[in-house]
Every structure is written in structure tokens, then in C-alpha cells.
Amino acid sequence: MLQELEALKKSIVEERVTDALTLIEELDGMSRKSVIRTIKSYLVRLLVHLLKNQVEQRLTNSWVASIRGSIFEIQDLNLQDNKSSYYLKPDEWDEYLEAAFQTALYEAASEIFGGKFTAKEIAAKVEEEKVKEIALKMIRASYNSSPKTLAARLDDTLSQLPGGDIWKKD
């Protein structure tokens, strides 16, 4: 990125407006790609914990913290600096969920029941569409909720997961 900034500076000094605008677009694209890459890592973390919940049929406080934390980070990262638009729109999550789900399967396999199952075995034990639907419900809640109301909405969703009734009592 430093190389691009130097080239931008040089283009501006030399009054090459077209080159400068092209570089600005490239820098914007690089920034967007970086933000989306970070969002995807939180999406994987979210899915890992939803997979653990589905297979182990329980919900722990640390899983809840990871799920909540992932959604809050996605909410924060997804909102662009102008505070009025998003990197990923509510209807653009399907391809990201698909890719993240595959990655999450491998990560979850090393954690579920102490690594007892392979990713393929985990995939056979879960309802993939249901896991994605739950994740998407939480993500969509982040678009029109303040952090305070988002927490309450997440708690409602979490309490409906396997083991959520016991978790909610604690």
C-alpha cells in the first residue's frame, strides 16, 4: 500500500488526475477487500460455535461470548465510515456463508468432542441450511439494531438453540 500512496502523491504533484483517480480506486478496493477478509474471519468463528452447538447439543458461556463477539465485530466492521452504507448488504451473505461454512467445518472438527470427528462426519451430523439460517438471522439483526438492542435480540436467538434454555437460566 505504501507503493500505491507514493504513486498517488507523485501523480497529484505532477497533476496527472486520471492516474491519481485510478490509484484512489485501487486503494479503495484494497481497503474494502481487507475489511471483507476480516468480516469473513468473524463469520467463520460464528459458524464454528454454531456447529459445536448443533453437534454437542449444548451452549456454554464461552460459546455465547464468541457468537456475540463475532456478531458485534461484524456489525462494527460492516458499517462503512460514512455510517450510512455497508460493505456487505443484507442480501449479499449467501456466497460468504457458503465459503465460511466449509472453513468452519474443518476448524470445528478439531474442537467438537475433542476432535473425535472429521469435517466430513461433522457435515453429516448438522443441518447446514439451519446453521446458515441462524447465522444469517443474527447478522441481519445487526443492520437495524444498536449494540444494546442487538444484545437482547441475540439472547433471544441464542435461547432457542439446543441447550439455550439451560444457558438462559444461568
pLDDT one-digit tens code per residue, 63-111: 999 999 999 999 999 998 777 799 999 999 999 999 999 999 999 999 9
On whether residue 16 sits in a domain, the answer given is no
Residue 6 lies in a domain: no
- The total of structural domains in the chain comes to 1
Q: Could you tell me what percent of the chain has a pLDDT over 90? A: 70
Task: Work out the average pLDDT over 161-169.
Answer: 87
3-state secondary structure of 86: strand
Say if 25 falls within a structural domain: no
Instruction: Flag whether 125 is in a domain.
Output: yes
Helices 2-13 & 17-56, crossing angle to 10 degrees? 160
Instruction: List the domain range (segments joined by +) for residue 120.
Output: 36-169
**How distant is the alpha carbon of residue 132 from its chain centre?**
12
pTM attached to this predicted model: 0.84
**Inside any domain, residue 27:** no
Of the two residues 15 and 163, the one the predictor is more confident about is: 163
Q: Is residue 13 one of the residues assigned to a domain?
A: no
Question: Do 67 and 46 form a contact (C-beta atoms < 8 A)?
Answer: yes
Q: Which tens digit of pLDDT belongs to each residue from 37-63?
A: 999 999 999 999 999 999 999 999 999
Residues 111-158 have pLDDT tens digits of 999 999 999 999 999 999 999 999 999 999 999 899 889 999 999 999
Judge contact between 99 and 132, C-beta under 8 A.
no
Tell me whether residue 62 is in a domain. Answer: yes
- Judge contact between 108 and 48, C-beta under 8 A: yes
Residue 62 DSSP class? H
DSSP 3-state of 54: helix
* Residue 42 domain flag: yes
| Residue 27 predicted with pLDDT over 60 | no
